[in-house]
Chain A
Amino acid sequence: MDVLGFHFQDTVIVAGFFAATLVPALVGIVLGAIFKSNKVANVVASLCIVSCAVSVSTYPLWHLGLALEYTLPIPSAIGEYRLAIDQLTACMISFSSVIFMLIVVHVVKSTSDSGCRYSALLNALFLACFSCMSADSVLVLLFSWELVTLTTFLLSKKGNNDHARWMFFAIAHLGGMVLICAYSFMASVAGTQVLSQWDGLSSALGHWTSMALIMAIVMGFGTKLGLIPFHAWMPDLYATAPIHTATLLSTVCSNVAILMVFKTVFSYIGITAALTPIAFAIVIIAVATALWGALESLVQREPKKLLAYSSMENMALVVLCMALGIIYIVESPALAKLVLVAGLLHTLNHSVFKSLMLMSIDTVEDCTGEKNIGRMGGLSRTLPALSAVAIIGILAMAAVPPTNGFVSEWLMIQSLMGADLESKGMSLVIPLILAAVGICGMMMAASYARLYGFIFLGRPRSEAMENPRPMKRGTILPLALLAALCLGMGLFAMTIMDVLAASIVSLIGMPPSPGYRSVMSGELLPLVLGTAVVATVAVLYWASKRGAQPEREVPTWSCGEDLDENMQYSSIGFTQPLVKVFHPFYGDTTVVRETKDSKVRTVIIEFVEPFVKYLYKPLGALLTGISERIGKTQTGNIQTYFAYVLITLVVTLLAVRVF
């Protein structure tokens, strides 16, 4: 290939690319491990940005026709450390790198999570994600996935949040164990460790085993995505971990998990008609997760927890799309393409708007020192720039045209409505799924309206809200870029969808026609509708301003008495009607206690996550009891856990190799 007039061997370019991606991050880790000063921390973070920037070029390089395969120059007794990047992987890597980069830029600018250790771990996380996505051998895949868990676990230390971290670590590790078993088993059946040579293992596995494996893969990666009942770690960790860790977990790590599920299910295992029943099981889990996320998001008091449940709901929708893809793929491949495109597009969209919102919310907390949404309000007048980018993120999350969130939800609904309902079973199931998606969408919209309305609109509910500190210099830049992405990806969604569709076709090995566009209506819709919305609002606004009477600022209408800060709707009250409507799902989580003293009564309204209360707490108590009886296995030491992970991994792999 010729670059700038010089001729290069393809392999050289590829090696250069991998080196340029991996080396800065590795150097960053080393530097971060050695030094302590803040200046070095910035250098370390910059190295991470460099790595990200290089890996953004993954898709362009793939597009040039390069075979992006590379074997890490590490001697190994177990197998080669192969990396290989196909089209879908290239898409996801490029895209995730953009998000990763913007997050790291925000890390540097906001300085709230800086420090050599943190920056070094960011580098490690980047490496782990990159190698996990591009892994072509089981060992690399499993090792880097464990590394993702471990680095995010280490990255999430902030203050005294051990409980949340260990909860995350335990659940993620549980998922990791399931994955180790599943992949080892598949490797033993396939007879090779090289993933790209696993082509449709389902015939070799038999459909019962395949179904079990699909379930294991979905649930294994689902621990990171927050599928029920493995979501319990999310709200607490999102609320207590450094915000950039939470953002990376919610966006890049989720992208990695979704990509791996797609690759494993559709390429490595391969889908046949006999596997449809497991898809229904996944549909049920996904719908339950989405509903649960939506329901719980309504009652959250900390914005970050609300966003955690929102992540859960969004990821559940993606998994739902994947499951529908399995159902559709045999009988109507075009529709399967559409629904998979919808799922992948939603993954990408989610990582944009969720990183935007998480970092915006953190900026709010940083500027005001307030974490409780019940005491926020009125920031749109004091932090106008932040509220402007946040409203775009909110609109995207709520799937309002012309944002990107709208396009992917619109596609999802299309693929549901377009289902060929001739088979009698589907005719009952699909409308129910549609209804569930509709209800989830509106409940999440209610949550997002609450999120924006009670943080940015109205009057300040506490002192801290009245005079927030100004935003740190430059932090608006990554946020603004993400907001621009929200709009741009909404308007030009078709371009991205074409790329994703092509990737899926090559991943699954389907014939390229009929394409997904054949079953989709309104190809121009995102662009035309988006443009129409923006243009019409602008024209109307402009036209109406002419000749209007000057407006007068008045106090909010208060029926003739003065309003104090207590006299506006509270965030809990806002969703109380919905809580009342869906009260069977909240059960006794709403506890109203009235302590009667002589004059002033106190009302306490509590919402407890039932999964934590009824599943994890008893389970934890049980395990603690057992472990206390057995002895001191639980030292609570990271290194020990790390050793456990590695030993398990190596032993399992060796076992696989022996058989």
Chain B
Amino acid sequence: MNPFEIVLMALQAAALMAVSPLVVGIIRKIKARMQNKVGASVLQPYRDLRKMFRKESAVSENASFLFRLIPYVCLTSMLLLAAMTPFVYTQVIAPYADVIAMVYIFTMFRFAMVLGGLEGGSAFGGMGSSREVMMSVLIEPALLISIMTLSAMTGAGFDLSAISGSINARGAAAICPALLLAGTSFVITMVAENTRVPFDNPDTHLELTMVHEGMLLEYSGRGLAIMEFASMVRLTIFMALLGTLFFPWGTAMAMTAAELSVSLLAITVKMLAIAFGIALLESTVAKMRVFRMPNMLTASFALALMAMVSLYVL
């Protein structure tokens, strides 16, 4: 690994985090256009984050040291994940780029959020946490199995870069029922994990229906900015994983200017397409009833399982 490569890999992790507010801004913009509204600038999330980051924090008098630590735990977990997500270049900087560790880092993020929701001692935080754990119990197995499918399909072990590279190297031949089924399962997982419509409404602050926002309710100022930013990064990481693990074509495997520029173009197109897909989904379906979510998540789980089975049956 030459120094230039290391710099590039570090850059790609930084870029992933840097563009995440933009990704959210683009999704919001597309949604606004679909609603016949002008919509805020795609840069608005950056402005919001800057504003919140500078503001004073109002912390609940019931909160403990954990409450103040949790935003940093969340951001850390996203930093670690960003460092292990192939984005423009297949290789990643993290020496721990292990798909199972990835799932556990997501768990760490979620666990921290859930505890944060319980800190304030109000009914709303607990409500968000309670719904979050219900969803996560069903999300986690689906995520594990869809990743296991990839790992088994490529025979590349648990290394994120290797899996991405292996599918990429096979070209169109890699497209098989297993990949498509696992990809579909992953999409549902992505929507659920990031608490988007139809699982949760990211735009609402309506007290009684919140999941993600409920857990963040007691945060303000800098803590809120960090939590919001971490959530944006989480969405971007999922989108990037979808683009580089399940449909990795175009991602640069070698360190050449040509491949890198193609890859840059490819990832931009992929991210825009996924953003458009999310916006379209959020505009055309309503938020589900809370107790419909398990059905949807079970469907995601079944898809992942079918992917796994199809790998050996077909």
Contacts and interface: CB of A to CB of B under 8 A. Distances in A.
A and B touch in the complex (CB under 8 A): yes
Interface of A: 377-378, 380-381, 384, 387-388, 391, 395, 398-401, 406, 409-410, 413-414, 417-418, 421, 424, 427-428, 431-432, 434-436, 438-439, 441-443, 445-446, 449, 452-454, 456-459, 521-522, 524-525, 528-529, 532-533, 536-537, 540-541, 544, 548-559, 563, 567-569, 573-578, 580-581
B126 to A, nearest CB: 2
Contacts of A381: 62, 64
Nearest to A536: B76
Given A552-B59, A557-B217, A576-B130, A445 B148 contact: no
By CB atoms of chain A within 10 A, which of B76, B139, B143 has the most?
B76
A452 to B, nearest CB: 7
Nearest to A566: B123
A442 B137 contact: yes
B261 interface: no
By CB atoms of chain B within 10 A, which of A381, A399, A544, A573 has the most?
A544
Interface in B190-242: 207, 217-218, 221-222, 226
B101 A569 contact: no
Looking at chain B's contact residues, the main secondary structure is helix
Contacts of A427: 308-309, 311-312
A309 to B, nearest CB: 15
B121 A457 contact: yes
Contacts of A554: 58-61
A400 B59 contact: no
Contact of B121 (A439, A441, A459, A525): A459
A554 B59 CA distance: 6
27 contacts: A400-B104, A400-B107, A400-B108, A406-B104, A417-B151, A421-B312, A431-B145, A435-B301, A438-B140, A439-B140, A442-B133, A454-B118, A521-B159, A529-B105, A533-B77, A533-B108, A549-B221, A551-B221, A552-B59, A554-B60, A568-B121, A568-B123, A569-B126, A574-B129, A574-B133, A575-B130, A581-B291
Given A417-B158, A457-B66, 15 more contacts: A399-B104, A400-B108, A409-B104, A413-B100, A417-B144, A434-B145, A438-B145, A441-B140, A442-B140, A445-B136, A446-B114, A551-B57, A557-B124, A573-B126, A577-B291
A529 B207 contact: no
Nearest to B99: A417
B73 interface: yes
A541 B309 CA distance: 45
A316 B120 CA distance: 35
A480 B40 CA distance: 51
Nearest to A294: B137
B199 to A, nearest CB: 13
Given A529-B80, A549-B56, A537 B309 contact: no
Contact of A453 (B58, B61, B129, B301): B129
Contact of B305 (A418, A431, A525): A431
Contacts of A549: 54-57, 221-222
A335 to B, nearest CB: 13
A558 B141 contact: no
Contacts of B157: 418, 521
B119 A457 contact: yes
Contacts of A442: 107, 133, 136-137, 139-141
Contact of B80 (A457, A458, A533): A533
Given A400-B108, A550-B56, A435 B144 contact: yes
Given A431-B148, A445-B133, A449-B118, A529 B140 contact: no
B276 interface: no
Contacts of B65: 380, 384, 388
Contacts of A528: 95-96
Nearest to A380: B64
B39 interface: no
A302 B302 CA distance: 35
A358 B110 CA distance: 24
Interface residues of B, number: 78
Contacts of A559: 207
Interface of B: 54-62, 64-66, 69, 72-73, 75-77, 79-80, 95-96, 98, 100-101, 103-105, 107-108, 111, 114-115, 118-127, 129-131, 133-134, 136-141, 143-145, 148, 151-152, 157-159, 207, 217-218, 221-222, 226, 290-291, 294, 301, 305, 308-309, 311-312
B226 A544 contact: yes
Contacts of A551: 56-59, 221
6 closest A-B pairs by beta carbon, nearest first, are A569-B126, A453-B118, A459-B121, A380-B64, A458-B121, A438-B141
A533 B129 CA distance: 23
A537 B100 contact: no
Contacts, number: 250
B305 A577 contact: no
Nearest to A578: B134
A441 B305 CA distance: 18
Contacts of B308: 427, 431
Nearest to B297: A581
B26 to A, nearest CB: 27
Given A434-B145, A446-B133, A522-B158, A536 B79 contact: yes
A72 B312 CA distance: 57
B122 A568 contact: yes
A378 B148 CA distance: 40
By CB atoms of chain B within 10 A, which of A395, A409, A435 has the most?
A435
Given A410-B100, A551-B59, A552-B58, A541 B120 contact: no
B56 A569 contact: no
B220 to A, nearest CB: 9
Contact of A575 (B73, B133, B218, B294): B133
A576 B218 CA distance: 23
Nearest to B131: A577
B136 to A, nearest CB: 5
Given A377-B121, A438-B141, A537-B72, A568 B126 contact: yes
Contacts of B140: 438-439, 441-442
B144 A438 contact: yes
B96 A522 contact: yes
Nearest to A448: B111
Given A449-B111, A578-B134, A457 B312 contact: no
A522 B130 contact: no
Given A458-B121, A524-B96, A567-B122, A387 B130 contact: no
Contacts of B69: 537, 541
A656 B180 CA distance: 62
